[in-house]
Structure 1
């Protein structure tokens, strides 16, 4: 789309009677480019293992026979399978699911947020949180982190006590920094929200990639009916295209979400796909192990290049001390490697891909920084606009 056409489209949008708080906003979304190596949106680049793929095909084939009927609106079999996968003494009544963890979070905000209510989170963190708040008419409160992007129990609890929000969203492992929170932070936030009856949501989208010994907030669910732990099958299960997110919480939380969900919101094909994948979680976890290996290899490689990667409990690495992030981003793109500029000065983020993708990324990056042979082979004439980016 040309610049003039884009301006005309914006003018026509502005002429519509949309909500005032949506005027001037742009849709969320990372660049979707035709590039050989895509390491920008934390997808599982290993794909679905063959045994899981065959099981999914068979399950979808079976579901087609009943596609003229509405799906099970309680997705009972899926909730049972998710509870079995999570363990921790959870049962189907503790589980809820929707089309991606973004919809799970949206439904939480629809039930517990809204006009006159507030959501507290701690940037830099997942950029969808303020957008979800805006979409549900919930006031977004941006909390504070330390200069190294860490969040202590005392600081988080003090901010909850200060703002008395209706909801707190804790991302662990955090996106974009990749670091997990200690359970002491979750416990402190939950206790600090007692007076205001604050709902505490721990977004564990990347939990399967955590370092050994990193605990999950699932351990804290017993006796805490205001605590919610959200997960996704997009990352560890390589099902980003299937759109299946879920949560674990007290049964009454799922009852609250039933009040705001759309009828039959999970298709029969989505349910069949997810159940089949869960039945083959062992082979999918083998890919997770390799991704963690490549992630740690990236961390070591970045350190060797004089950069400062953060300790990562996710399937990506956030790294600083980048001399010119925009130029490095462009240079990598010109060489066929797309990573993420998260807008934090001196920093970039890269997804851990396959061994070959990791090797290519590290090799090109070394060249761009003047420490490897790839420097002379990179075409620096490409720019963001050349690639169709805003």
Structure 2
């Protein structure tokens, strides 16, 4: 028998496996990666927001400013509901505290309007922390009822101290005037005040959620028992989240006072708290874009419902909420996320069967 050479061995004679060529990347997929879609969208939104007041009528500019104010309040509510998993129906009360703090300081003590913002934030933080200690020992429906009670008694409380709050008549203020060097109209200046406060608020919340505190809040939301076993102090972090949530609601109330230049107890009835929670759910719980979309929903949808049927705008408003939740169970932010995913998929070439070349 002749020996089989190494080159004629079965292993060497076996055909090499086919190589699959890597798909060519399109210029769009090279520039816009999955991680950059979010920041690209943020940049576009900010640019459009900065350009909008120069093209819109004053009333439309006012509406957009109000939408951003509601977005700040929903940003705080999202901290406690979306990121911590607790239910709150009382954030309209903290909105009122911030609004009246700014109004009283501006009306009674002639405080500069910009100085009222940090004061309103501190006041609502202290009140939120004090109320959060006993309130957050409850869970579920009981917590919702207690926070609802806070929103209910806020209106008669404001009416009782009429020497300070103006009672049922409220307080009428002067709107902040733009500095001469800006060259802006009054509505444009107020708009940019609201826009600047909104951007700073979102940056602060993003920093909190990326920190140890944010990880603790998410652990509490996902499983309180497991979080406690891992060493998370439930009472401390839940109370801290409630205080921060109240703070952003108070900041929104302060900017609301600047833009409206009038506060009245009836403007902060319990319906405001319910509307804020509904707007957050529609916008998207626990998402970054949820407060923005929820603020737009809270501002524009009631007006749209009023235009459709002036006799029963609440019915139209409720039906629209049901329709949105049916079409987008994860909120409007879920639709934005799906659109971003679709755009990212369109930017990547798909390797189909049959594109491989055997050698």
What's the TM-score once normalised by structure 2's chain length? 0.27
Which structure's residues are more often strand, by fraction?
A: 1
Which structure features the higher share of helix residues? 2
Tell me which structure has the larger Cα radius of gyration.
2
Higher relative contact order (CA 8 A, sep 6+): 2
Give TM-score scaled by structure 1 length.
Answer: 0.25
